[in-house]
Amino acid sequence: MDFFDEQARDTVFSLKHPFFFVNDGVRVYYGGSQKLLTRTYTQKMGCGVICAANILLYLGRYAEGCDRGPFAELAREDPIPAAEFGRRCDALQRRYMQVMPHFGLTGFQLTWGLNRYCRRYGLPYRMRWQLGKRDFWQHIQEMLEADIPGTLAIGPNFPAFWGRHKLRFYVRHLEGYRPVVSTKAHFVTITGMDEEWLRISSWGKEYFINRREYDDYVKTHSTWLVSNIGLVRRIT
């Protein structure tokens, strides 16, 4: 059974292959987790690096023309060893997307760094950071239909960056969805979507975001300048 309602299969969009797992010998992660990075500040602020690594690993495992580079080599293992994942993410952070202590990574830095990596290894994909809400959900659908994981930013409160408003994450049970945690100023990886929910990877766990709640959060407490998506497309 899929993670979404089987009665609405025509409105479900999901990656065509299983999302990868990372194993540290104690637990199995759904995608990567910033907890596996070595520096204390990147463990707190490295969510953007993890989203980039998630994309590179998934494409390295399944996409044509992405069988080169350090993440493609790692993607051949199943499940992916946590120590190797953390080491390569540390290198990605140092060389391509510098995380700023206390500030983290912006969507533009993530985009620039991922594109530099793709050019370095000749990968036929590029990311651009979307501005505004136009075709927002349509773009996510198109990425999933193209078998590309999406990157979503839950931006900080704006203009009061010190605000305490957060977006809820849910887990799914047989009886429905239950909120378990909330966050702001955070990047997550999108692995599926239906008319009401996004399925995501965050902190190495599977969560769900209510689409209406995301729209309300951005409109009321943040802005589409910092709460948006990294749009990845194939260029050849």
| Domain extents in the chain | 6-234
Question: For domain 6-234, is the CATH number 1.20.1250.20?
Answer: no
Burial class (CB in 10 A: 0-12, 13-18, 19+), 16: exposed
pLDDT tens, residue order, the chain (236 aa): 355 554 444 569 999 999 999 999 999 999 999 999 988 889 999 999 999 999 999 999 999 999 999 999 999 888 999 999 999 999 999 999 999 888 889 999 999 999 999 999 999 999 999 989 999 999 999 999 999 999 999 999 999 989 999 999 999 988 899 999 999 999 999 999 999 999 999 999 999 999 999 999 999 999 999 999 999 999 97
Per DSSP (E only), the strands in the chain are 13-14, 21-23, 28-30, 80-81, 125-129, 150-154, 167-173, 176-183, 186-193, 197-202, 205-210, 229-234
- 18: Cβ contacts below 8 Å, ≥ 6 apart: none
pLDDT of residue 8: 47
The pLDDT of residue 100? 87
